[in-house]
Amino acid sequence: MIPLSEFREGERGVIKRLNGRGTFRKRLQEMGFIRGSEVFVEKYAPLRDPIELVIKGYHVSLRVEEAAQIMMEKLEQEQE
Amino acid sequence: MKKEAITIALTGNPNSGKTTIFNNLTGTRQHVGNWPGVTVEKKMGTVIHNGHRLQVVDLPGTYSLTAYSIEEIVARRFLVDSKPDVVVDIVDASNLERNLYLATQLIELGVKLILVLNMADVAQARGHEIDADRLGILLGVPVVFTIGTKNQGMKELLDKVLEVVEDRDTVSRHIHISYGYELEKEIKKIQDVIWRDPSVGERFSTRWLAVKLLENDTAVQERVRSLGEIGEQILAQAEASRERLAEFYKDDAEMVLTDQRYGFIGGALKEVLKISAKSKLDVSRQVDLFLTNRILGFPVFIFFIWAMFQLTFTVGAYPMEWIDAGVTWLGAVVTALLPAGLLQDLLVNGIIAGVGSVIIFLPNILILFFCIAVFEDTGYLARAAFIMDRVMHIIGLHGKSFIPLLMGFGCNAPAIMATRTLESERDRLLSILINPLISCSARLPVYILLAGTFFGASAGNVIFSIYALGIALAIAMGKLFSVTLFRGDMAPFVMELPPYRAPTLKSLLIHMWDRSQIFLRKMSGVILVGSILIWVLSSFPRSPDLHRGQAVERGATSATQERVLTVAESEQPVSPSTPEDYLKNSDLNNEMARLESSLLGRLGHLIQPIFAPLGFDWRTSVAVLTGFVAKEIVVSTLGVLYAAGADVNEESDALRRSLRASGMTPLGAYTLMAFVLIYIPCLATVAVIRRETNSWKWTGFSIGYSLVLAWMVSFLIYQGGRIVGLG
């Protein structure tokens, strides 16, 4: 398992675990960050923070420090 | 069967097109207010359908009803306490999975629900095929398709609302989302305790109550605790159940519940949603790759902001001139129509001039808000926040706070209104509090006058340093407030980046008008009262000596005039060479003397000791007082008091000469500039702060802290400067 913050642009993975506490975790979960969800790293902002992700078919941004709380399993990269 | 008025609550995720549907339904028959006690906007409107009067309440857009954010608390409180007849959940049909999460919570709440699959065209274009009938049966909720942007499906929606209200609908039934054996067992246990007192079960859905308690929902816990003995029993059972579940699942119950809800949604979608081959080109994504590009992102952003200001201040300048001309004309007409006297003076110099000086900003405000509406409705605002978040995060703010702060350079009043685009109340308050430190354009004339007079060639650098001081203080205060007043509750930056959309003109105009209307309404309130107050202070007491026929005074060198001469400490302004000049100066001196003996002048003398450590004399003190109405007034007040004429502007040579002759030093001038930068936001801004914070406490705090800060900073500059020998 590696944290989502260590993913590079264009990589995808599956959520294994959410760290962090109450409100933050709950909020992430409600937005669809639940175990087994697939996440695609669309891009980093120009200043390398935050990150834009695609999850459950929509785009969402997270700060790097927040993405570090999401433990992932990397998926093989698809060729586009 | 006909009910008098049917209440419909619109709910839905942000970016689901809820506002467009609300506008379609209610058109111009809507009004905007605030939810009691909070700064969240409350929109209501009415629609007549088939002879029924329907009242539509637009609840804040939320992703869930967990009651973490103020918006969620407001929405939930309305649903639970006001019990609307029908709840319409507006769902982005192209983004069903996450959007249905809110629907599961509404189902649980046991309200009469209609599911609206909005943006049906977008979903179709993306190859999403939705079996609405099947979805309706699975959720036990009637489903309607709409395309908000094309105004399609509104009649069907309203028909459905009436059907549901009158129980004619065949799909509606109450379903339970099954959470699996372990959770259901604990839910049942809690429900059993609740049923010990049947009156509780009649007021709330017991299942909802049980689930919320398992989720450790503090708002519901408080409610239950207030029930007394039975409440304690319920809470005890809930606590025991939570502990058992945590042990079983090795995770908090609320996490498991969320997982299960998404599991339920996933299961339903498998049956109703078919996604055919994705369209080849995602236009929105292509646009975004350019707009938030690592290299181009910032330049493009800066260009948009530059364009917004250009539009606001160059295009806005024309209608501003017209309004200015109109106000002047109105003043002239009233002067001509009414006999000279108190009433005429009050109308012309008090009300018309006062309100006119603020209403002149209306074109700027309309244009600024139009631009913001474009940013917001196209989806660019979220990208701007995305780009800027790293920078804003330093002062504990969200990326979205950047736009309101930037707008402050134009005018703080609309800038503070623009904080409505921020989701969390904490960010909103913080942005409101530091916004006045961003130097607005009305302060520029004061800088130009003072810097031009005392700093000559380096005036530009001096003015720049004042702007920089403002920004530095905004950052420092932002940081200070976020670690003291707003400690801890920093919201996670989970921000949706909605697909780019072409906005409709109608929604842009409604958006713009909503906000401008608030500004206009204020004219009749606080600003009117404020203008009258300043007028009263500067017009009373009406010294009979000065007002009994000016002809008398014009001839003679009255005692008053002599006093004025000594006050002015300068021989230059009053050295009449021609009779006309003499008359003009004489009028001016009367005005000056009158101002000094007015309440305002006395007040100036009274408060002067406070300002003495900053090097201000009584005239500067008065100027600072009148600057509260609008900061550029500081220039015209200085004009009157330093005997250069009331119609001076910052370029006026006469005023510059007399300022230099008055004994003001460059250090004193710089101190005054710093003070004008920081002290109390102007009247219009204070009114907006009151409106937007919905609290006198925060308004008072804003005034108080800026005064204290202004004094302290000015003191440091003046006394520090003297120590190092600049004075």
For chain A, report the end-to-end CA distance as a whole number of angstroms: 25
For B225-274, write each residue's pLDDT tens digit. Answer: 998 899 999 999 999 999 999 999 988 888 899 999 999 999 999 999 99
A59 close to B497: Cβ distance less than 8 angstroms: yes
Picking from A17, A25, A31, A70 by the largest number of B CB atoms within 10 A of its own CB, the best residue to mutate is A31
Picking from B290, B424, B493, B500 by the largest number of A CB atoms within 10 A of its own CB, the best residue to mutate is B493
Task: Return the DSSP state at B312.
Answer: I
Higher pLDDT, B490 or B652: B652
B294:A18 CB<8 A: no
Angstroms from A44 CA to nearest CA on chain B: 8
Question: Is B387 part of the contact surface with chain A (CB cutoff 8 Å)?
Answer: yes
* Model pLDDT, residue B269: 94
Is a pLDDT exceeding 80 seen at residue B514?
Answer: no
Per-residue pLDDT tens digits of chain A, which is 80 residues long: 899 999 999 999 999 998 887 778 888 888 999 999 999 999 999 999 899 999 998 999 999 999 999 999 998 765 54
For B375-391, write each residue's pLDDT tens digit. Answer: 888 989 889 989 999 98
A57:B95 CB<8 A: yes
Fold (CATH) for B181-275: Helix Hairpins (1.10.287)
Q: Model-level pTM?
A: 0.79
- Structural domains of chain A, with CATH: 2-74 (2.30.30.90)
Angstroms from B143 CA to nearest CA on chain A: 21
Picking from A4, A5, A19, A29 by the largest number of B CB atoms within 10 A of its own CB, the best residue to mutate is A29
Contacts of A25 in chain B (CB under 8 A): 255
Which residue ranges does chain B devote to CATH 1.10.287.1770?
Answer: 181-275
Residue B364 pLDDT grade (very low, low, confident, very high; cuts 50, 70, 90): confident
Angstroms from B674 CA to nearest CA on chain A: 33
Is a pLDDT exceeding 90 seen at residue B170?
Answer: no
For B36-94, write each residue's pLDDT tens digit. Answer: 766 677 889 999 999 999 999 999 889 998 877 778 888 999 998 888 999 999 999 99
B292:A43 CB<8 A: yes
d(CA A46, CA B295) in angstroms, rounded, equals 7
Task: Return the DSSP state at B253.
Answer: H
For B111-120, write each residue's pLDDT tens digit. Answer: 999 999 999 9
Nearest chain A residue to B67, by CA = A23
Nearest chain A residue to B490, by CA = A24
For B67-78, write each residue's pLDDT tens digit. Answer: 777 788 889 999
Higher pLDDT, B718 or B691: B718
Using CB atoms, which residue from B95, B98, B492 is nearest to A27?
B492
The A residues from 44 to 73 touching B (CB cutoff 8 Å) are 44-50, 52, 56-63, 66
For B567-610, write each residue's pLDDT tens digit. Answer: 333 334 444 445 555 555 666 677 777 778 888 888 889 999 99
Q: In this structure, is the dihedral angle defined by the CA atoms of residues B681, B682, B684 and B686, taken in order, positive or negative?
A: positive
Average pLDDT of chain B is 84
**Residue closest to B334 by CA, chosen among B361, B318, B358, B356:** B356
Q: Provide ipTM, 2 decimals.
A: 0.93
Region label for B420, one of left (φ > 0), alpha (ψ between -120 and 50) or beta (otherwise): alpha
| Residue tagged 């099947």 (tokens) | B134
**Residue closest to B94 by CA, chosen among B116, B125, B134, B63:** B125
Which residue ranges does chain B devote to CATH 3.40.50.300?
Answer: 5-165
A59:B493 CB<8 A: no
Q: What CATH homologous superfamily does B5-165 map to?
A: P-loop containing nucleotide triphosphate hydrolases (3.40.50.300)
For B210-232, write each residue's pLDDT tens digit. Answer: 999 999 888 899 989 998 899 99
Task: Return the DSSP state at B35.
Answer: -
* Model pLDDT, residue B4: 67
* Model pLDDT, residue B576: 43
